[in-house]
Amino acid sequence: MTDKEKQLFEEILAYLKIERDVYGDFYPASDRSTTDPLKQCSTLEELKALCENSDVLKTDLEGTNLVFGVGNPNADLMLIGEAPGYHEDQQGEPFVGRAGQLLNKILAAIHFKREEVYIANILKHRPPKNRDPKPEERERSLPFLERQIELINPKLLLCLGRISATTLLSRDDSLKNMRGQFHPYLGRLLMVTYHPAALLRNPQWKRPAWEDVQLLREKYDELTGDH
């Protein structure tokens, strides 16, 4: 890290602490001004550095590693899970365990390489014992993910699992009702399907998941002209 980067991180962190004093740990995106430290991050590297120094993202997740995201920073397709697991925490990369291996196979089946897309999670740190992310943790983490999406600027988003989908869509609904269609989200299209870990536990869901990703690929080709 250069001296200039260290100075920027210190300035951002100081501003963020002031904002927390005023707004608490979270405040709505509509209230954020152009001086928001998230908006000041113009690259993924700057955003990652902000996440590294942010207590807002941790709560009781201290002692875990940051799992920021991985893949093509200019990807037209971004996949979003719910939170890192044990292997992800150890390697600092999302979807590297058994669920990640299945995800790689799913991507390959619709003619994507892992490095072509971008993969991230709602939470940037592993919850204790892989418990579900708490609502307040998801709420605090969402602005960071939204900025990550803005910087990557994908045409399509694929939410992996119900928690990811309900967080982004601000909608308390079943995965069954949300999948099989495209939802508008931040000027983009968002699709919902099963989390790969759920497919490992429930193989009968692989058929509808396959239908989802085929539809996703068709829309991707339509939007990008890639055939």
> Which pLDDT score is estimated for 188?
96
Burial 155-192 (b: 16+ CB within 10 A, else e): bbbbbbbbbbbbbbbeeeeebeebbeeebebeebbbbb
Q: Band of the pLDDT at 170, cuts 50, 70, 90?
A: very high
Lowest mean pLDDT among 109-113, 130-134, 151-155, 194-198: 130-134
Q: Give the whole-angstrom CA distance, residue 141 versus residue 88.
A: 17
Residue 80 and residue 121 in contact, taking contact as beta carbons nearer than 8 Å: yes
Q: Given its phi and psi angles, is residue 119 left (phi above 0), alpha (psi -120 to 50 degrees) or beta?
A: beta
Q: What is the mean pLDDT of residues 113-137?
A: 93
Residue 102 and residue 200 in contact, taking contact as beta carbons nearer than 8 Å: yes
Q: Band of the pLDDT at 29, cuts 50, 70, 90?
A: very low
Q: Band of the pLDDT at 22, cuts 50, 70, 90?
A: very low
Residue 3 has pLDDT above 80, yes or no: no
Q: Band of the pLDDT at 174, cuts 50, 70, 90?
A: very high
Condensed to tens digits (0 to 9), the pLDDT of residues 35-47 reads 789 999 999 999 9
Condensed to tens digits (0 to 9), the pLDDT of residues 50-61 reads 999 888 887 666
Condensed to tens digits (0 to 9), the pLDDT of residues 153-168 reads 999 999 999 999 999 9
Residue for token pair 């055939």: 227
Condensed to tens digits (0 to 9), the pLDDT of residues 83-96 reads 999 999 999 999 99
> Which pLDDT score is estimated for 93?
96
Q: What is the DSSP letter of 226?
A: -
Residue 208 and residue 179 in contact, taking contact as beta carbons nearer than 8 Å: yes
Residue 102 has pLDDT above 50, yes or no: yes
> Which pLDDT score is estimated for 64?
87
Residue for token pair 């941790």: 58
Pair of tokens at residue 110: 């619709």
Q: What is the mean pLDDT of residues 187-210?
A: 97
Burial 58-84 (b: 16+ CB within 10 A, else e): bbebeebbbbbbbbbeebbbbbbbbbb
In sign, the C-alpha dihedral spanning 221, 205, 101, 120 is: positive
Residue 26 has pLDDT above 80, yes or no: no
Which domains does the chain possess? 3-224 (3.40.470.10)
Q: What is the DSSP letter of 152?
A: H
Query: What does R_g of the chain's alpha carbons equal in angstroms?
Result: 17
Residue 30 has pLDDT above 50, yes or no: no
